[in-house]
Amino acid sequence: MKQIIVAQLPKGALTPDHFRIEDAPAPVPGDGEVRLKVILMSIDAANRSWLQGATYRAAVHVGDIMPTYAICEIVESRAPGLSVGDIVAAEAGWAEELVLPATSVAQMPDLRPLSHLLSVYGIAGKTAYHGLVGIGRPQAGETVLVSAAAGSVGGYVGQIAKAMGCRAVGIAGGPEKCRWVVEHLGFDACLDYREPGLNRALKAACPDGVDIYFDNVGGAVLETALFHMNTRGRVVCCGAISQYDSTTPSGPRNLPGLVVVKRLRMEGFIVMDHAADDAKALASLRKWVQAGQVKVTEDIIDGLDHAPQALIGLLAGDNRGKRMVRVAPDPA
Protein backbone atom coordinates (compact mmCIF):
# COMPACT_ATOMS: atom_id res chain seq x y z
CA MET A 1 0.00 0.00 0.00
CA LYS A 2 1.03 3.62 -0.54
CA GLN A 3 1.57 6.36 2.00
CA ILE A 4 2.89 9.93 1.97
CA ILE A 5 5.66 10.91 4.33
CA VAL A 6 6.75 14.35 5.48
CA ALA A 7 10.20 14.53 3.87
CA GLN A 8 11.14 17.91 5.30
CA LEU A 9 9.44 20.62 7.30
CA PRO A 10 8.56 23.79 5.34
CA LYS A 11 10.16 27.06 6.36
CA GLY A 12 8.20 29.23 3.94
CA ALA A 13 5.79 28.23 1.20
CA LEU A 14 4.77 24.58 1.10
CA THR A 15 5.99 22.70 -2.01
CA PRO A 16 5.72 19.12 -3.28
CA ASP A 17 9.35 18.59 -2.17
CA HIS A 18 8.22 18.60 1.45
CA PHE A 19 6.53 15.23 0.86
CA ARG A 20 7.64 11.79 -0.31
CA ILE A 21 5.38 9.01 -1.51
CA GLU A 22 6.42 5.47 -0.61
CA ASP A 23 5.25 1.89 -0.56
CA ALA A 24 4.77 0.13 2.74
CA PRO A 25 3.48 -3.25 3.87
CA ALA A 26 -0.17 -3.33 4.93
CA PRO A 27 -0.26 -2.55 8.66
CA VAL A 28 -1.46 -5.28 11.07
CA PRO A 29 -3.83 -4.44 13.94
CA GLY A 30 -3.10 -5.55 17.47
CA ASP A 31 -5.60 -6.24 20.24
CA GLY A 32 -8.10 -3.39 20.55
CA GLU A 33 -7.12 -1.98 17.17
CA VAL A 34 -8.72 -1.74 13.75
CA ARG A 35 -7.30 -1.61 10.24
CA LEU A 36 -8.82 1.18 8.17
CA LYS A 37 -9.12 1.74 4.47
CA VAL A 38 -8.95 5.48 3.87
CA ILE A 39 -11.75 6.68 1.55
CA LEU A 40 -11.76 10.49 1.73
CA MET A 41 -9.19 12.83 3.30
CA SER A 42 -10.18 16.32 4.43
CA ILE A 43 -7.80 19.01 3.13
CA ASP A 44 -7.73 22.01 5.46
CA ALA A 45 -5.63 25.13 5.98
CA ALA A 46 -4.98 23.81 9.49
CA ASN A 47 -2.92 20.96 7.99
CA ARG A 48 -0.26 23.52 7.15
CA SER A 49 -0.15 24.80 10.73
CA TRP A 50 0.52 21.29 12.01
CA LEU A 51 3.88 21.45 10.23
CA GLN A 52 4.84 24.58 12.20
CA GLY A 53 5.07 22.89 15.61
CA ALA A 54 2.67 21.86 18.33
CA THR A 55 -0.80 23.45 18.07
CA TYR A 56 -3.96 21.85 19.45
CA ARG A 57 -2.31 18.63 18.32
CA ALA A 58 1.25 17.39 18.61
CA ALA A 59 3.81 18.65 16.12
CA VAL A 60 4.45 16.65 12.96
CA HIS A 61 8.02 15.42 12.46
CA VAL A 62 10.10 14.50 9.45
CA GLY A 63 9.45 10.83 8.67
CA ASP A 64 5.85 10.87 9.95
CA ILE A 65 2.94 9.97 7.71
CA MET A 66 1.23 13.33 6.97
CA PRO A 67 -1.80 13.43 9.30
CA THR A 68 -5.36 14.18 8.15
CA TYR A 69 -8.95 13.98 9.26
CA ALA A 70 -10.51 11.26 7.09
CA ILE A 71 -13.53 9.11 6.44
CA CYS A 72 -12.54 5.44 6.48
CA GLU A 73 -13.98 1.95 6.27
CA ILE A 74 -13.00 -0.72 8.78
CA VAL A 75 -11.46 -3.64 6.89
CA GLU A 76 -10.19 -5.64 9.87
CA SER A 77 -11.23 -5.36 13.51
CA ARG A 78 -9.67 -6.67 16.69
CA ALA A 79 -11.84 -4.37 18.82
CA PRO A 80 -15.26 -5.19 20.32
CA GLY A 81 -18.06 -2.98 18.99
CA LEU A 82 -16.35 -2.19 15.70
CA SER A 83 -17.10 -4.39 12.70
CA VAL A 84 -15.71 -4.82 9.22
CA GLY A 85 -17.65 -2.52 6.90
CA ASP A 86 -18.30 0.18 9.54
CA ILE A 87 -17.77 3.74 8.33
CA VAL A 88 -15.75 5.86 10.78
CA ALA A 89 -14.05 9.24 11.01
CA ALA A 90 -10.55 9.40 12.42
CA GLU A 91 -7.40 11.44 12.72
CA ALA A 92 -5.79 9.27 10.09
CA GLY A 93 -2.94 9.89 7.67
CA TRP A 94 -2.19 10.36 3.98
CA ALA A 95 -2.18 6.61 3.30
CA GLU A 96 -4.26 3.93 1.65
CA GLU A 97 -4.53 2.01 4.92
CA LEU A 98 -3.61 2.43 8.53
CA VAL A 99 -4.09 0.91 11.95
CA LEU A 100 -5.58 2.83 14.86
CA PRO A 101 -6.77 2.01 18.37
CA ALA A 102 -10.55 1.62 18.55
CA THR A 103 -10.71 4.60 20.89
CA SER A 104 -9.42 6.89 18.11
CA VAL A 105 -12.26 6.35 15.66
CA ALA A 106 -15.82 7.73 15.67
CA GLN A 107 -18.73 5.85 14.09
CA MET A 108 -20.39 7.76 11.26
CA PRO A 109 -23.91 7.46 9.86
CA ASP A 110 -23.83 5.22 6.80
CA LEU A 111 -25.08 7.72 4.22
CA ARG A 112 -24.03 8.12 0.59
CA PRO A 113 -22.11 9.83 -0.85
CA LEU A 114 -19.64 9.70 2.03
CA SER A 115 -18.19 13.03 0.90
CA HIS A 116 -21.24 14.70 2.50
CA LEU A 117 -19.79 13.70 5.88
CA LEU A 118 -16.91 16.10 5.22
CA SER A 119 -18.94 18.84 3.57
CA VAL A 120 -22.54 19.74 4.22
CA TYR A 121 -23.12 17.25 7.07
CA GLY A 122 -19.58 17.60 8.36
CA ILE A 123 -17.63 20.34 10.07
CA ALA A 124 -18.12 22.79 7.19
CA GLY A 125 -21.91 22.65 7.14
CA LYS A 126 -22.25 22.46 10.91
CA THR A 127 -19.89 25.41 11.42
CA ALA A 128 -21.93 27.49 8.98
CA TYR A 129 -25.22 26.50 10.61
CA HIS A 130 -24.20 26.93 14.25
CA GLY A 131 -22.40 30.20 13.60
CA LEU A 132 -25.13 31.77 11.51
CA VAL A 133 -28.18 30.40 13.31
CA GLY A 134 -26.89 29.96 16.86
CA ILE A 135 -24.71 33.07 17.10
CA GLY A 136 -26.03 35.36 14.35
CA ARG A 137 -29.75 34.60 14.84
CA PRO A 138 -30.95 35.82 11.46
CA GLN A 139 -34.43 37.17 10.90
CA ALA A 140 -36.10 37.02 7.50
CA GLY A 141 -35.41 40.21 5.58
CA GLU A 142 -32.05 40.88 7.20
CA THR A 143 -28.80 41.24 5.27
CA VAL A 144 -26.08 38.66 5.92
CA LEU A 145 -22.53 39.39 4.76
CA VAL A 146 -19.92 36.62 4.72
CA SER A 147 -16.22 36.67 3.86
CA ALA A 148 -14.38 33.74 2.27
CA ALA A 149 -17.72 33.15 0.58
CA ALA A 150 -16.29 30.59 -1.85
CA GLY A 151 -14.69 28.64 0.97
CA SER A 152 -15.92 25.48 2.63
CA VAL A 153 -17.92 27.30 5.32
CA GLY A 154 -18.78 30.63 3.70
CA GLY A 155 -20.69 29.10 0.81
CA TYR A 156 -23.06 27.37 3.21
CA VAL A 157 -23.50 30.50 5.31
CA GLY A 158 -24.90 32.46 2.38
CA GLN A 159 -27.08 29.61 1.16
CA ILE A 160 -28.53 29.03 4.64
CA ALA A 161 -29.15 32.77 4.92
CA LYS A 162 -31.08 32.70 1.65
CA ALA A 163 -33.04 29.64 2.79
CA MET A 164 -34.01 31.62 5.91
CA GLY A 165 -35.29 34.56 3.88
CA CYS A 166 -32.28 36.88 4.18
CA ARG A 167 -30.28 38.82 1.62
CA ALA A 168 -26.86 37.14 1.21
CA VAL A 169 -23.78 39.09 0.16
CA GLY A 170 -20.37 37.44 -0.13
CA ILE A 171 -16.79 38.65 -0.17
CA ALA A 172 -14.21 36.54 -2.03
CA GLY A 173 -10.88 36.88 -3.79
CA GLY A 174 -10.97 37.33 -7.56
CA PRO A 175 -13.69 37.75 -10.18
CA GLU A 176 -14.08 34.05 -10.96
CA LYS A 177 -14.83 33.10 -7.37
CA CYS A 178 -17.24 36.00 -7.06
CA ARG A 179 -19.09 34.94 -10.19
CA TRP A 180 -19.30 31.35 -8.91
CA VAL A 181 -20.68 32.51 -5.57
CA VAL A 182 -23.48 34.45 -7.27
CA GLU A 183 -24.24 32.20 -10.23
CA HIS A 184 -23.73 28.78 -8.70
CA LEU A 185 -24.53 29.37 -5.02
CA GLY A 186 -27.24 31.97 -5.56
CA PHE A 187 -25.89 34.79 -3.38
CA ASP A 188 -27.45 38.18 -4.14
CA ALA A 189 -24.01 39.70 -4.69
CA CYS A 190 -20.33 38.91 -4.15
CA LEU A 191 -17.55 41.50 -3.84
CA ASP A 192 -13.91 41.04 -4.74
CA TYR A 193 -11.79 42.22 -1.82
CA ARG A 194 -8.73 42.43 -4.07
CA GLU A 195 -10.33 45.23 -6.07
CA PRO A 196 -10.04 48.78 -4.74
CA GLY A 197 -13.19 50.34 -3.35
CA LEU A 198 -14.53 47.53 -1.18
CA ASN A 199 -16.15 50.14 1.05
CA ARG A 200 -18.13 51.67 -1.80
CA ALA A 201 -18.99 48.26 -3.23
CA LEU A 202 -20.33 47.17 0.16
CA LYS A 203 -22.50 50.24 0.39
CA ALA A 204 -24.00 49.49 -3.00
CA ALA A 205 -24.51 45.78 -2.33
CA CYS A 206 -26.02 46.33 1.15
CA PRO A 207 -28.29 49.37 0.72
CA ASP A 208 -30.03 48.59 4.03
CA GLY A 209 -26.75 47.98 5.89
CA VAL A 210 -25.49 44.68 7.31
CA ASP A 211 -27.29 42.89 10.13
CA ILE A 212 -24.97 39.89 10.40
CA TYR A 213 -21.35 39.73 9.30
CA PHE A 214 -19.95 36.21 9.33
CA ASP A 215 -16.21 36.86 9.55
CA ASN A 216 -13.73 34.27 8.35
CA VAL A 217 -10.84 36.64 7.75
CA GLY A 218 -10.41 39.47 10.30
CA GLY A 219 -8.07 42.33 9.43
CA ALA A 220 -8.89 44.99 6.85
CA VAL A 221 -12.03 43.28 5.55
CA LEU A 222 -13.46 43.15 9.08
CA GLU A 223 -12.61 46.81 9.57
CA THR A 224 -14.43 47.73 6.37
CA ALA A 225 -17.43 45.54 7.16
CA LEU A 226 -17.85 47.12 10.61
CA PHE A 227 -18.58 50.50 9.04
CA HIS A 228 -21.65 49.01 7.37
CA MET A 229 -23.14 47.23 10.37
CA ASN A 230 -26.60 48.24 11.46
CA THR A 231 -27.41 49.10 15.06
CA ARG A 232 -27.58 45.89 17.09
CA GLY A 233 -25.81 43.98 14.33
CA ARG A 234 -24.01 40.72 15.04
CA VAL A 235 -20.48 39.80 14.01
CA VAL A 236 -19.99 36.04 13.99
CA CYS A 237 -16.26 35.50 14.57
CA CYS A 238 -15.38 32.24 12.87
CA GLY A 239 -11.80 32.80 11.75
CA ALA A 240 -9.09 35.33 11.06
CA ILE A 241 -7.13 33.84 8.16
CA SER A 242 -5.79 37.24 7.10
CA GLN A 243 -3.86 37.35 10.37
CA TYR A 244 -2.47 33.82 10.65
CA ASP A 245 0.70 34.34 8.64
CA SER A 246 1.15 38.01 9.46
CA THR A 247 4.20 39.06 11.41
CA THR A 248 2.62 42.48 12.08
CA PRO A 249 -1.02 41.81 12.90
CA SER A 250 -3.19 44.91 12.87
CA GLY A 251 -6.47 45.22 14.70
CA PRO A 252 -9.46 46.90 13.12
CA ARG A 253 -8.98 50.54 14.10
CA ASN A 254 -12.70 51.03 14.61
CA LEU A 255 -12.79 48.48 17.44
CA PRO A 256 -14.18 48.74 20.04
CA GLY A 257 -15.55 52.18 19.13
CA LEU A 258 -18.14 50.97 16.64
CA VAL A 259 -19.16 48.10 18.93
CA VAL A 260 -20.19 50.70 21.50
CA VAL A 261 -21.79 53.22 19.16
CA LYS A 262 -23.75 50.62 17.17
CA ARG A 263 -24.34 48.28 20.09
CA LEU A 264 -22.86 45.38 18.15
CA ARG A 265 -22.40 41.87 19.41
CA MET A 266 -19.17 40.15 18.28
CA GLU A 267 -19.01 36.53 19.30
CA GLY A 268 -16.59 33.73 18.67
CA PHE A 269 -17.48 30.05 18.66
CA ILE A 270 -16.19 26.67 17.71
CA VAL A 271 -18.39 24.06 16.21
CA MET A 272 -17.93 21.57 19.06
CA ASP A 273 -19.50 24.03 21.52
CA HIS A 274 -22.80 23.53 19.75
CA ALA A 275 -22.79 19.72 19.58
CA ALA A 276 -26.05 19.67 21.57
CA ASP A 277 -27.74 21.26 18.56
CA ASP A 278 -26.11 19.03 15.94
CA ALA A 279 -29.25 16.98 15.35
CA LYS A 280 -31.24 20.14 14.68
CA ALA A 281 -28.52 21.43 12.37
CA LEU A 282 -28.37 18.20 10.39
CA ALA A 283 -32.15 17.99 10.08
CA SER A 284 -32.33 21.54 8.73
CA LEU A 285 -29.41 21.04 6.36
CA ARG A 286 -30.93 17.81 5.05
CA LYS A 287 -34.26 19.52 4.43
CA TRP A 288 -32.60 22.40 2.54
CA VAL A 289 -30.38 20.06 0.51
CA GLN A 290 -33.35 17.93 -0.49
CA ALA A 291 -35.36 21.01 -1.44
CA GLY A 292 -32.46 22.25 -3.57
CA GLN A 293 -32.06 25.37 -1.43
CA VAL A 294 -28.56 24.44 -0.32
CA LYS A 295 -26.17 23.09 -2.93
CA VAL A 296 -23.49 20.78 -1.65
CA THR A 297 -20.18 22.33 -2.63
CA GLU A 298 -17.38 19.84 -2.80
CA ASP A 299 -14.01 20.08 -4.44
CA ILE A 300 -12.88 16.48 -4.67
CA ILE A 301 -9.45 15.64 -6.06
CA ASP A 302 -8.90 12.06 -7.03
CA GLY A 303 -5.92 10.03 -5.95
CA LEU A 304 -3.70 9.89 -2.89
CA ASP A 305 -0.74 11.03 -5.02
CA HIS A 306 -2.42 14.40 -5.51
CA ALA A 307 -2.76 15.22 -1.82
CA PRO A 308 0.33 17.48 -1.63
CA GLN A 309 -0.85 19.55 -4.59
CA ALA A 310 -4.38 19.64 -3.18
CA LEU A 311 -3.10 21.19 0.04
CA ILE A 312 -0.71 23.58 -1.70
CA GLY A 313 -3.54 24.76 -3.94
CA LEU A 314 -5.91 25.19 -1.01
CA LEU A 315 -3.41 27.45 0.70
CA ALA A 316 -3.30 29.53 -2.49
CA GLY A 317 -7.08 29.76 -2.37
CA ASP A 318 -7.95 27.81 -5.49
CA ASN A 319 -10.72 25.67 -3.98
CA ARG A 320 -14.46 26.11 -4.41
CA GLY A 321 -16.25 24.67 -1.42
CA LYS A 322 -14.95 21.87 0.74
CA ARG A 323 -11.73 20.36 -0.62
CA MET A 324 -10.97 16.68 -0.09
CA VAL A 325 -8.91 13.92 -1.68
CA ARG A 326 -10.53 10.66 -2.66
CA VAL A 327 -8.29 7.67 -1.95
CA ALA A 328 -10.83 4.90 -2.58
CA PRO A 329 -14.39 4.72 -3.92
CA ASP A 330 -17.34 4.71 -1.53
CA PRO A 331 -18.20 1.14 -0.55
CA ALA A 332 -21.47 -0.04 -2.06
Measured distance CA(307)–CA(36) in Å, rounded:
18
Find the shortest distance in angstroms from Cβ 106 to a copy of itself.
22
* Amino acid making up residue 214: F
Measured distance CA(115)–CA(35) in Å, rounded:
21
Find the shortest distance in angstroms from Cβ 314 to a copy of itself.
19
Find the shortest distance in angstroms from Cβ 205 to a copy of itself.
22
* DSSP H or E stretch at residue 199: helix 198-205
Measured distance CA(3)–CA(50) in Å, rounded:
18
DSSP string, 50-109: HTTS-SSSPPP-TTSBPEEEEEEEEEEE-STT--TT-EEEEEEESBSEEEEEGGGEEE--
190 vs 236, beta carbon nearer a copy of itself:
236
Measured distance CA(150)–CA(224) in Å, rounded:
19
122 vs 218, beta carbon nearer a copy of itself:
218
Per DSSP, the three-state class of 126 is helix
162 vs 274, beta carbon nearer a copy of itself:
274
111 vs 272, beta carbon nearer a copy of itself:
272
Measured distance CA(263)–CA(266) in Å, rounded:
10
Find the shortest distance in angstroms from Cβ 242 to a copy of itself.
10
Measured distance CA(278)–CA(176) in Å, rounded:
33
33 vs 142, beta carbon nearer a copy of itself:
142
123 vs 307, beta carbon nearer a copy of itself:
123
- Which of 152, 144, 149, 91 shows the shortest CA–CA distance to 118? 152
| b/e code 108-141 from CB counts within 10 Å (16+ = b) | beeeeebbbbbbbbbbbbbbbbbbbbbbbebeee
Q: What phi and psi, each to the nearest 5 degrees, are found at residue 129?
A: -65, -50
Residues that bind a copy of itself (CB under 8 A): 215, 218, 222-223, 235, 237-240, 243, 249-270, 273
Find the shortest distance in angstroms from Cβ 134 to a copy of itself.
12
265 vs 286, beta carbon nearer a copy of itself:
265
272 vs 283, beta carbon nearer a copy of itself:
272
Find the shortest distance in angstroms from Cβ 117 to a copy of itself.
24
Measured distance CA(178)–CA(34) in Å, rounded:
44
Find the shortest distance in angstroms from Cβ 246 to a copy of itself.
9
82 vs 259, beta carbon nearer a copy of itself:
259
Q: What is the dihedral of CA 254, 258, 264, 269, to 10 degrees?
A: 10
Find the shortest distance in angstroms from Cβ 218 to a copy of itself.
5
Measured distance CA(285)–CA(293) in Å, rounded:
9
Find the shortest distance in angstroms from Cβ 318 to a copy of itself.
24
